Structures are given as C-alpha cells and as structure tokens.
Amino acid sequence: PGGVVVSTARMRRIIEVDARNRLAHVEAGVTNQAISDAAAPFGLFFAPDPSSQIACTIGGNVATNAGGPHTLKHGVTVNHVLGLTAVLADGRVVTLGGRCEDPVGFDLLGAFVGSEGLFGLVTEVIVRLTPAPQGVRTMLAVFDSLDDATETASDIIGEGLIPVALEMMDRLILQAVEAAYHLGLETDAEAVLIIEVDGLEAGLDEEMSWIETLCRRHGVRGVARATTPEERERLWQARKHAAGALGRLSPSSCTQDVVVPRTKLPEMLRYVRRVAERHDLRIANVFHAGDGNLHPIMLFDERDAGQVQRVLRASRDIVAEAVRLGGTITGEHGVGVEKTEYLGLMFNEDDVEAMRRLRSVFDPDRRCNPNKVFPRRPAPPDDALAGTTR
C-alpha cells in the first residue's frame, strides 16, 4: 500500500516570544536551537537540548519527547510544552493546552507529547522558556576505569546534588573526537565525565568542590574546570560532536537507547563489553550518566550482511538486559519500528491494548504512522533475547 510523507520543514515561523510570561509560540519546523536563539535577548532559553539541537525541530522533539544533556535538572520536552495545535488523520484541527500553566481536565497534551506521530501531525507549539542561570560551572573529570566513572555519577546524585548535566564518554569516543576536532582530550583514559552545575553564583564553587571530592573518592586521575566561556564551549563540543566523530572509525553505526537505574550503570556497561566480545563488534559509549540513559553505539559496515545480523543480535541483547536490570527499552529516541517487538518486555497485553484504545481516540483508522510502536506479533521472551551467556 502507498502512503503520504508530510514534512513541516518550511514551517519555520517564530510566532511570538512572550518574555513576561516566559513562553514562545512557534511553528513545528522551527529548530530547537532557533527557539533558544530567539529567547536569548530576553535572558531566556528552551531547556531541552538534544545533541542535534541545531538541526532537530520542535515538532520532532514533541513527537519523541526529546531530552538532552541538560534535562537531568530541567526535564524533558513534555515538561516544557504548554500547548500545541495538531491536525488529526481525518483533517480536524485540535488545540491542546494553552498559555496557562495548569489547564483543566485530563492531560491529553501530556499524552500527545511522545506519541511518535501516532495521534496526529503537530503544526504549532507553545513552549515554556527558562531563565538563563546567573552562573555556570563546568568540569571535566578523567578516569582510568569505567566503573569508577559510573559509580562517581551515582554518588553525586546520591549525595543530593543535582547537576544541570552529568555526561560520560568512553575511550573509543574520546579517541574519535580528538582525531576529528583536536580538543586536547586525554585519549588514554577509560572514561571522562562532563559535570555542570548552574544557578546563583553564591554556592556554585562550593558545590563543585564537593563534586570534586566525590570524584577523588573514586580515584579520578584528574579534574579540569572550565575558567572561560570558550573552555566550557570546547568541553561541550566534545560531547555534542561525539556521535558524528565516529564516522572516522566506521562507515556505519547503530545507536541504541536504553535506560537503567543509575546504580546499575557499572553492571550494564560490563555487560555491553561482553556483548561486544560475543558478537565481535566495536561498541562506543557516550551517554547521560545522571539519569542512566545509555547510548551504546555499534560500529559496523552495513554493506556486510553478516555484520548487520551481528548488530541486530547485539541490540536485542542490550535491550533485554536493560529491562532485566529494571530499566526501559528506550529513553528518548522512541520505539518507532525497531523496538516494536520489545514492547512486550515491559507491558502486558492489557497495557498495550489500553494504549491502542487511547490512540483510537485521536486516530481510529490508524492512518498516522501505521505499523509504528505497537507490536505486530508477541514480543520474544526475555531469555530468548539475552543469549546463552552473561
């Protein structure tokens, strides 16, 4: 059967920036970065910041409930959407939410955000803007052990500290980024953490000193604090360009997206290493350590059918292990087509049927994004996915 692809790429109008009410009204094709750029003269910004923020659009952010490095403190897209306008499959135009913080009735807006296009096509969005912080402190912590880095991340949150960002990159990522951008990274380290705190100037240095103490408790090789905006930007360039830099190492890559409890990060990363050995793959890790959202990136050549099959098997193993450890099959990239068969690992048939019925409220004929999210067959059992060795 045929289909129609609808693009909102030309819907790039910023309808309004209302600084007094701290909101922006934009069309769906406006990029994430463009919203923050428009808000910057008023001392405001749009908090969700995916690594692709210069290219990704607010419509896509809404569809996938996108996150980013700084959502550890500020939250994901759904926490910053006040209202939206959408076109349903039958042509009806609906408005959900609005300019007020606390609308009356069921939270249909919250259901629409993250629905991956199954409910309808978003055309306009009203987003909440966040005041720019008075001060920011950024640190790079270098570790000789993946376990030490992940345990440090868990301890930072466990101590009651909430950095605005807490990101991790492993050795393979460091080597790729340094080869591409020459940022002076220590490529012999096993892992680095990028740690950032923001807020009122008073207390920020003390907070960073506390975090540095926790790093040293876990054997950090060294820490370096950014002392200028340029140094801070250089650190974030390393993180934002990490996935793209891997193109120097392999013609193809497949990025997984799973979440585990923070305390399970060391165990999950050890498992990812075993998966790499089992399937004879190179797997790089760059991820949001603060909330346990991992992005194992498998390097391969898609022209080799055998490598493609090994990547698919490795992906199944990683997803199943994340669920076994109490996590989820996706953090911010969505279910889409790739993970429909895994939905049953987290939800029973009644759960999935309830989701189908909610979808039918918006699109009873299933015209929008058909064959996405919901499984077309029962999900394989956990032990069938996890492999025979651990």
In tens digits, what is the pLDDT along the chain, a chain of 390 residues?
Answer: 678 899 999 999 999 999 999 999 999 999 999 999 999 999 999 999 998 999 999 999 999 999 999 989 999 999 999 999 999 999 999 999 999 887 788 899 999 999 999 999 999 999 999 999 999 999 999 999 999 999 999 999 999 999 999 999 999 999 999 999 999 999 999 999 999 999 999 999 999 999 999 999 999 999 999 999 999 999 999 998 888 899 888 999 999 999 999 999 999 999 999 999 999 999 999 999 999 999 999 999 999 999 999 999 999 999 999 999 999 999 888 999 989 989 999 999 999 999 999 999 999 999 999 989 998 745 555 444 444 333
User: Does residue 38 sit in helix, strand or coil?
Assistant: helix
Q: Following DSSP, what letter does each residue of 341-363 receive, concatenated?
A: GGGGGT--HHHHHHHHHHHHHH-
| Placement of tokens 């998966």 in the chain | 275
Closest CA to 288 of 63, 66, 37: 66
**Cα gap 124→14, rounded to integer Å:** 10
User: What is the rounded distance in angstroms from the CA atom of residue 141 to the CA atom of residue 186?
Assistant: 11
Which residues make Cβ contacts (< 8 Å) with residue 152, sequence separation at least 6?
141, 143, 193, 214, 215, 217, 218, 220
Nearest to 251 by CA among 315, 312, 303: 303
CA–CA gap between residue 175 and residue 229 (Å, rounded) = 24
C-alpha distance from residue 50 to each of 115, 157, 336 (Å)? 18, 21, 18
Residues of the chain with CATH 3.30.465.10: 14-131
Please tell me the predicted confidence (pLDDT) of residue 243.
83
* Number of C-beta neighbours around residue 278 at 10 A: 16
- CA 349 – CA 343 distance, rounded (Å): 10
CA distance 147 to 144: 9
Q: How far apart are CA 91 and CA 86, in angstroms?
A: 10
For the record, the structure tokens of 147 come out as 């376990």
Tokens of 362: 């918006």
Task: Using CB atoms within 10 Å of the CB of residue 6, give its burial: 0 to 12 exposed, 13 to 18 middle, 19+ buried.
Answer: exposed
Smallest Cα–Cα separation from 249: which of 292, 215, 281? 281
Report the CATH architecture of 251-385.
Answer: 2-Layer Sandwich (3.30)
Its pTM stands at 0.89
Residue type, 49: D
Is the CATH number of domain 14-131 3.40.1280.10? no
Alpha-carbon distances, residue 155 vs 165, 189, 259, 263 (angstroms): 14, 20, 18, 9
How far apart CA 76 and CA 50 sit, in angstroms, is: 10
Pick the CATH number of 135-238 from 3.30.310.50, 3.30.70.2190, 2.60.40.420, 3.40.1260.10: 3.30.70.2190
Q: Which helix (H) or strand (E) holds 210?
A: helix 204-217
CB count in 10 Å sphere of residue 290: 25
pLDDT of residue 240: 87
Give CATH 3.30.70.2190 domain extents, the chain: 135-238
- In eight-state DSSP terms, residue 89 is T
State the Cα–Cα distance between residues 142 and 152, nearest whole angstrom: 11
**Residue in this structure with the two tokens 């009873």, named with its chain if needed:** 364
- According to CATH, where is 3.30.70.2740 located in the chain? 251-385
Q: Name the amino acid, one letter, at 171.
A: R
